[in-house]
Copies of this chain bind each other. A is one copy, B any other.
Amino acid sequence: MQFPSKLIENAVAEIAKLPGIGKKTALRLALHLLKEDGQETSLLTDALARMRSETVYCKQCHNISDADLCQICDNPLRDGSSICVVEDTRDVMAVENTAQYHGQYHILGGVISPMDGIGPGELNIESLINRAKSADGLKEIILALSPTMEGDTTAFYITKKLKDLDIKLSTIARGVPVGGELEYTDEITLGRSILSRTKYEV
């Protein structure tokens, strides 16, 4: 691509580093910013710079946060008797959007994946164990990890570490998705959904 200006070329190169954005999209975004009022660009760059420099990780659950303790850990109305263990921030947002869970969270920051060089030491597992040992009134730890090889390995590792504590360990249900068709469900999922069948409350 022949750019009319080195400054645009540089901006396009930086935008195209973002995941899922190619050179053509980057150019479209750069030209959009040039067309808009200059204030739009400064609002964007300020928001990005502040987000990057001012967000910290919650010292209790390791979620991204504005302060030492995140909004959830700092909320006295949240149920302290359960911790939901998830892979990353997006999973917290997904669970929060269901409005079905009112306890606390623990963000691992990934799952065990030897292929990518991620062992238990790279994740926030040690702090989860310490939290489980020291937390007052903690009754249940829910593992809400992806049903993949890596997610299952991580769940297995955590349950082994925690099994001697007097805390109920559970995992989110595996089964046929709501709205899913039985005939298109893979056999492992369908098999699990039969094994974990739920009794009708009539």
**By the criterion CB–CB under 8 Å, are A34 and B4 in contact?**
no
Whether a CB of chain B sits under 8 angstroms from the CB of A15 is: yes
Confirm or deny: A53 has a beta carbon within 8 angstroms of a beta carbon on chain B. yes
Check B17–A89 contact: CB distance below 8 A: no
Q: Is the CB of A18 within 8 A of B32?
A: yes
In the complex, the answer to whether B70 meets A4 with C-beta atoms within 8 Å is yes
Q: Which of A51, A53, A64 has the most CB of B within 10 A?
A: A51
A121 within 8 A of B: no
Indicate whether A31 sits within 8 Å of B97 (C-beta atoms), given known contacts A41-B52, A70-B4.
no
A63 at the binding interface (Cβ < 8 Å): yes
Question: In the complex, how many residues of chain A place their beta carbon closer than 8 angstroms to a beta carbon of chain B?
Answer: 57
Interface stretch of the complex, out of A6-14, A111-119, A144-152: A6-14
Q: Verify B1–A97 contact, CB threshold 8 A.
A: yes
- Cα distance A56–B49 in the bound complex, in angstroms: 25
Report yes or no: B34 in contact with A51, Cβ–Cβ below 8 A: yes
Q: Answer whether residue A198 sits at the interface, using C-beta atoms and an 8 A cutoff.
A: no
Option from B15, B38, B66, B70 in Cβ contact (under 8 Å) with A44: B15
A34 / chain B contacts, CB cutoff of 8 Å: 51-52, 55, 64
